[in-house]
Structure 1
């Protein structure tokens, strides 16, 4: 694996975001945003996606989102204003002086990437993985599901619809108080909002992943997007080598 470095970058409100980097600084930068309850290491490094991008000549920049991984996990509700994750992305782009870069998200990272572009971030190309059209506009339903899982954390048993979410939170040692606050900060995106996302985009999703609605419909709703299908469910598709191959194929 290429050398991995980590730095902590202050965001717009002073919260420290852990930013992991691989590849030559002279390479084209790709900003990778992981999914809910996950981390840069889990989504991008462990299964080789970051290394494939590095091997193709990119520098990969992988923050741990606020309340995740090695980033700050404040327990003050004031630290989670609406669109806080999009504000963090904008702050990182400014702090790291990313003038020419691509933006990639998985699941919550895709929602964040969409919100970041709508609110002013301008990547060269955009990749949305693990995301469908209905998921962007239906965050409250998803948030309620995960908040319920957090509130019933010690009661959830195998067979409960929340079992997999709770198991993953345990695996990732999630700070539940911070996560609960974060879940209430994510803004919805309507199909009409997508008109401003004019850069070339790739929507990539597992063939058994319907967690966030229809990925092909999301590709159709974007002004300049293509759809690619890879194997897997929502949880397993991010472990598939096909995801890294799709990223390289589109961004290279």
Structure 2
């Protein structure tokens, strides 16, 4: 891996379709120093966000590096420092999964643990479907059996993103309005919703998983039952919603402890 990654500088992997996917590496020197170290931790953000907001701004990178882990963050295509192609065909689940493979290949990393949040959990699931040997353990944050976009009316999403027309669906308003205000690429967000709707959440039996949800978060409804069906761990954090769960120290501690096991 390039020494530039150790300082968190943006590096780029080229996807199969030529899309450039931005990523950063923190604590890289540990890989060179400790051959027996646990694998790096790959952090994968959710919809309409980016790695800096989701993982650096909430203290995740610092918490993991303080715990002795090398960290890789990535901006999903359509988000942050990555390219933003237009059209739902560019945002199929398997395409997102292949992007993560490209990031790991470019970074020179054979296997990772992963912490993913919301939509990012299904991106990591797509990685597991393509290359299960690249994942050791995964923390599934803020997600359950129901994919959010599958319940959205695409005509309403297009009207809001392209014409600023209000949506009668409160969650569409709650998710998309802040993203627009923050300067997100509207056509890229539309492509993500169109291409990613209905993406599956599943992992091969050999990849151990931990579910973490906020006690006041309705997005991951059914996560407890899914965790029980999979034989996975489950942690609910009282008083936290879909946004505030990310800042919880209890979330970080649960993930760090789970990923520390051999």
Q: TM-score range by the shorter chain?
A: 0.7 to 0.9
Distance 1:10 1:190, change over 3 A: closer
Match of 1:196, SS? coil
Unaligned runs of 5+ in 1: none
Distance 1:146 1:37, change over 3 A: farther
The answer to whether the aligner puts 1:243 opposite 2:251 as a matched pair is yes
**Aligned 8 A contact 1:87 1:116 in 2:** yes
Q: TM-score, normalised by structure 1?
A: 0.86
Query: C-alpha separation between the residues in 2 aligned to 1:40 and 1:147?
Result: 29
**Aligned 8 A contact 1:49 1:243 in 2:** no
Query: C-alpha separation between the residues in 2 aligned to 1:46 and 1:226?
Result: 26
Q: Select which of 206, 211, 218 maps to 1:210.
A: 218
**Aligned 8 A contact 2:13 2:102 in 1:** no
Deviation of 1:94 after TM superposition, in Å, equals 2.2
2:146 aligned residue: 134
Q: TM-score, normalised by structure 2?
A: 0.83
Which deviations, in whole Å up to 9, do the C-alpha atoms of 1:138-185 show, x marking residues without a partner? 6521xx257624522423389955332233212431111111112222
Aligned pairs (5 A) from 1:33-182 = 33-122=44-133, 123-135=135-147, 139-141=149-151, 144-145=152-153, 148-153=156-161, 154-156=164-166, 160-182=170-192
- Between the two proteins, the alignment pairs up a number of residues equal to 244
2:234 aligned residue: 227
Unaligned runs of 5+ in 2: 1-5, 32-38
Match of 1:53, SS? helix
Query: C-alpha separation between the residues in 1 aligned to 2:236 and 2:209?
Result: 14
Q: How big is the alpha-carbon RMSD for the aligned residues of Structure 1 and Structure 2?
A: 2.6
Match of 1:13, SS? coil
2:28 aligned residue: 24
Deviation of 1:78 after TM superposition, in Å, equals 4.6
The answer to whether the aligner puts 1:5 opposite 2:16 as a matched pair is no
Distance 1:63 1:80, change over 3 A: same
